[in-house]
Chain A
């Protein structure tokens, strides 16, 4: 026998009651999420980079590309090599984003160092400010993310980023950038770049975690963010950053 309209109303009504009981039971019993579940409000992510420890091996760039499916020719993270000579403009290079390392230096009379770069996860982010639809946003745990299902691909954010960290993904035609390996850090893992850094030059840090070594580090070291005059409240801190770095 085909169900009548009355039957449909009855089934619908029962479902409604069951659904509301389900919601109420959870509230009555005070069932909380599992204790190890990730709570965004408990974290405020950033990164520490110790320039003197970076050897320019490119492991981080390769690991990032592999972990996040970064298209060839674009970079969520990259490494620059600076050669600074007194009284001259610095010579900077980053062949393939430093992915395959760097050729040996031809001169020894210049100051040379490596600078890993990535999204600075700014708290006052210009890219977030300019997005016309709010497709890019700062998550409650302090990571600047892009919703690829919502991004128009207008690239205003690419123009607004002072650090050159964004690009249009040629496959999705939406803007892509470092997500601080959000899929990993919310599971208690570190980022792909940090995990693969052989010298611990990069350290994922959680500013809201009182036990995080970052607090001690910031107390005892001279640190700087990139382009502080941009007032973006960047959360990637560099130890012993040279004034030549842009």
Chain B
């Protein structure tokens, strides 16, 4: 009997994929969060002054995506109403059980607190000068703390610095942990590698830095303000370095698998050459890795005009964003296309207007931008301490 979409032999319960497009979104979104935050920390902790114009934008981008991060998981659960049980009765041996705690730590202790401290002086100023409902909003955002004396602001600065320092390992934890969720599944050779957390981490940094670069360039264009090229050059340089490390790690994984060629290799190799050819070889490797790396390398090796550099950076960043999305797709979906018997392959049938279909996925990807618009309106990231 021929099962539609199946080649060779799948265990009967394997034919249907269990983790869908929404689970592709989850590591993609958390990666953008971690990457954007790490870019922000360059200015705060490592004193890379050139990226200062993007500091606040990077923080707000991280928050916008972090607020959306749990939604694809919630939508995916068979019983979303029980998700609170992960907090109340976590099963400590589960790699997934810590998600809620890592998420809350990152949201409440790192991002919200850092953003609040960064903006506190302006929030207080707005609460004093605005009228009507905006005054109420800013008043609420002060959380009752309206002391903006120089001494108080110095404390804010110190605490903010400390939080960013804590934030860097937290960002590493957030995304390294997501990688561990996959990398620790010993039943799945496509996932099971100790490199997975670190590959996830560096790919997260690539996607987050690329996202902030594109958002910064787009927002400057929209505001008709000239782009700070020193800032863009610096971000692009960090993007290049991070991308190189990410590429090296992925190649290490590939070379190791190919050379070792264990039982699963033949099956996985066939999958990459057939069902994953488009998303893995074309999108992830060629379009999403080689081309942007070559473009970024070119900007480091030769001198180009500002307009050309801008074009190259934005093209490379956009391709990197597509490439990292393809990477998440290939990990999550690719990891379920082959049978654990190594004797067959199934297909992913993406639906459209269903709970786990394409439509909710598109909406979930648009949502962080809508949140970012509101946040930018409420807490303008353009001028530091304009008040």
The segment from B30-38, B181-189, B248-256, B309-317 found at the interface with A is B181-189
Q: B376 an interface residue at 8 Å Cβ cutoff?
A: no
| Contact indicator per residue, chain A 63-93, by CB within 8 Å of chain B (1) or not (0) | 0000000000011001010000000011111
The segment from A9-17, A45-53, A154-162, A214-222 that touches chain B is A154-162
Residue from B12, B18, B85 within 8 A of A94 (CB atoms):
B12
Q: Does B146 contact A (CB under 8 A)?
A: no
Cα-based distance from A159 to B94 in the complex (angstroms)? 13
Chain A, residue nearest B92 (CB): A134
Tell whether A173 is near chain B: CB-to-CB under 8 Å.
yes
Question: Which chain B positions have C-beta within 8 A of A131?
Answer: 91, 94
Report the separation of the CA atoms of residues A57 and B343 in the bound assembly, to the nearest whole angstrom: 23
**CB of B83, distance to nearest CB on chain A (Å):** 6
**Chain B, interface size: which category?**
35 or more
Least CB distance, B84 to chain A, in whole angstroms? 10
Category for how many chain A residues contact B: 35 or more
Beta-carbon contact of B94 and A129 below 8 Å = yes
1/0 contact string of B167-197 vs chain A (CB within 8 Å): 0000000000000010001111000000000
Once the chains are docked, how many angstroms separate the CA of A91 from the CA of B9? 8
Name the contact of B185 in the complex, choosing from A75, A80, A93, A160 (C-beta under 8 A). Answer: A160
* Interface residue A234 (Cβ < 8 Å from any Cβ of B): no
Residues of the B chain whose Cβ atoms lie less than 8 Å from the Cβ of A128: 93
Q: A75-B12, A153-B78, A154-B76 are in contact. Are A126 and B94 (CB under 8 A)?
A: no
CB <8 Å contact, B91 and A167:
no
- Known A-B contacts A154-B96, A167-B13, A174-B78; A132 and B185 likewise in contact (beta carbons under 8 Å): no
Question: How far, in Å, is B64 (CB) from chain A's closest CB?
Answer: 25
Contact B12 A133 (CB under 8 A): no
What is the bound-complex CA distance between A160 and B188, given in angstroms?
7
Please give, as numbers and ranges, the residues of chain A lying within 8 Å of B82 by CB-CB distance. 133, 150-152
Among B79-97, those with CB < 8 Å from A are 79-80, 82-83, 85-86, 89-91, 93-97
A164 touches B78 (CB 8 A): no
Kindly identify which residue among A78, A90, A151, A152 contacts B343, using a CB–CB cutoff of 8 Å: A90
Given A164-B340, A168-B78, 18 more A-B residue pairs with CB atoms under 8 Å apart are A92-B341, A96-B1, A126-B185, A132-B94, A132-B99, A133-B91, A133-B94, A134-B94, A152-B79, A153-B78, A154-B77, A154-B96, A160-B186, A163-B11, A164-B12, A164-B339, A164-B341, A175-B78
Q: List A residues at the B interface (Cβ < 8 Å).
A: 74-75, 78, 80, 89-97, 117, 126, 128-134, 150-156, 158-168, 172-175, 230, 246
Cross-chain pairs A/B with CB under 8 angstroms, 18 sampled: A92-B9, A92-B341, A92-B343, A128-B93, A132-B94, A133-B90, A152-B83, A153-B77, A154-B78, A155-B78, A163-B340, A164-B11, A164-B14, A167-B16, A168-B18, A173-B79, A175-B78, A230-B186
